[in-house]
Amino acid sequence: MSRIVFFFSEAFRALRRNGAPTLAAVITTVVTVVLLGVLIPVFQTAQAKSDEVASQLNVHFALYDDATNAEIAQAKAQIEAIPGVADVTFVSKQEALATLKSELSDKTIVDELHTNPLPASFEVKATNAADLPQIEREVMGTTAAGKKDPISPAISNPFSRQQSTQQIAKVTSALKIVLTVIMALLIVASLMLIGNTIRLSIFTRRREVEVMRLVGATRWFIRWPFLIEGVVVGFIGGLVAILILWIGKITIVDPLSDHGDSFALAQHNSTIAFPVLIAILFGAAILVSTIGSGVTLRRFLRV
């Protein structure tokens, strides 16, 4: 018990002696945890939106106006037999016009049409959105001369109104990569600054450490006070960061989600619940600080 008291007293004495570096390490931990607390839900939201977008991607195949019901039924069966096809839906000319009307801000454009210029079509969804180009190639086919050769005479041409949706999917994927890199950089920066704080503490006490090593003190006997310093820095920084995140949640995220903001609602309903996220971040803050202390000590204990 006396040894534990000694370790803690030495740790807190060093923290008071190196007030400015300790404060810098605590602030770094706070900033890191707060940013991670924001970026992780954003990452989850981006993942959820990416999956949602991928599930909505499809390709349409226009049908000739003179295609018979038998040809349409046969074409539908042929498309459904293609590997990777999840669903094939017949869209009539009337349904296509109704969809177009619902998407236009000026409804009078459709009302003024004397005829329906839109073709009937098949809406094809894939099990994996990445397979859509291959499905389109198989449906349209190609002759030896390089001309289109659809698998059914009822099929005219492919078309898609979802180029913007595909762009969203690409942007979302890029966003996930950027967020991952940012989180990794934040963790590395936190490790380095906390390590520098502990290094400064060790440097001011290097004579003391050398004497302890010369009189036979074990590495762990010397190491424990410094590890405790790292734990304290992580504990205080994590606690302050959690308080900031909690205030942000009840003052910003919760009111926005109650008013139907889709982004805030997605974060509010994220895979990781807020209490679990807080526990993970708090544990990570202490762990990162402790690792930063331990890694720094290895070099200074070689006496």
Note down pLDDT in tens along the chain; length 303 residues: 677 787 778 777 777 777 777 787 788 788 888 888 877 777 777 777 666 666 677 888 999 988 889 999 999 999 999 998 999 999 998 888 888 777 776 666 666 667 788 889 999 988 887 788 888 888 988 766 767 888 888 998 887 755 555 565 566 667 778 877 887 887 777 667 666 766 666 666 667 667 777 777 777 777 787 788 878 888 888 899 889 988 887 887 677 666 555 555 555 555 567 788 788 888 888 887 777 666 666 665 555
When divided into structural domains, the chain yields a total of 2
Whether residue 155 is found in the same domain as residue 241: no
Domain hosting 285: range is: 2-53+167-300
pLDDT for res 169? 59
Whether residue 32 is found in the same domain as residue 87: no
Alpha-carbon dihedral 15, 19, 20, 26, rounded to 10 degrees: 50
Q: Which of 118, 134, 161 is the last residue of a domain?
A: 161
Whether residue 289 is found in the same domain as residue 257: yes
Query: What letter does residue 253 receive in the DSSP assignment?
Result: I
Whether residue 187 is found in the same domain as residue 291: yes
User: What's the order of all strands across the beta sheet hosting 59-63?
Assistant: 85-91, 121-126, 59-63, 155-159
Give percent above pLDDT 70 in the chain. 72
pLDDT for res 110? 64
pTM summary value: 0.59
pLDDT for res 226? 77
Whether residue 280 is found in the same domain as residue 133: no
pLDDT for res 64? 92
CATH of the domain at 64: 3.30.70.3040
Burial of 280 (0-12, 13-18, 19+ CB in 10 A): middle
pLDDT for res 106? 66
State how far the alpha carbon of 266 is from the alpha carbons of 100, 152, 262, 269, in Å: 28, 43, 6, 5
Whether residue 114 is found in the same domain as residue 184: no
Q: Which of 110, 127, 161 is the last residue of a domain?
A: 161
Whether residue 187 is found in the same domain as residue 157: no
Whether residue 182 is found in the same domain as residue 280: yes
Q: Which of 108, 142, 161 is the last residue of a domain?
A: 161
Whether residue 181 is found in the same domain as residue 294: yes
Which phi and psi (to 5°) does residue 241 adopt? -65, -40
pLDDT for res 77? 93
Whether residue 88 is found in the same domain as residue 46: no
Whether residue 37 is found in the same domain as residue 182: yes
pLDDT for res 195? 65
Whether residue 173 is found in the same domain as residue 101: no
H/E stretch holding 123 reads: strand 121-126
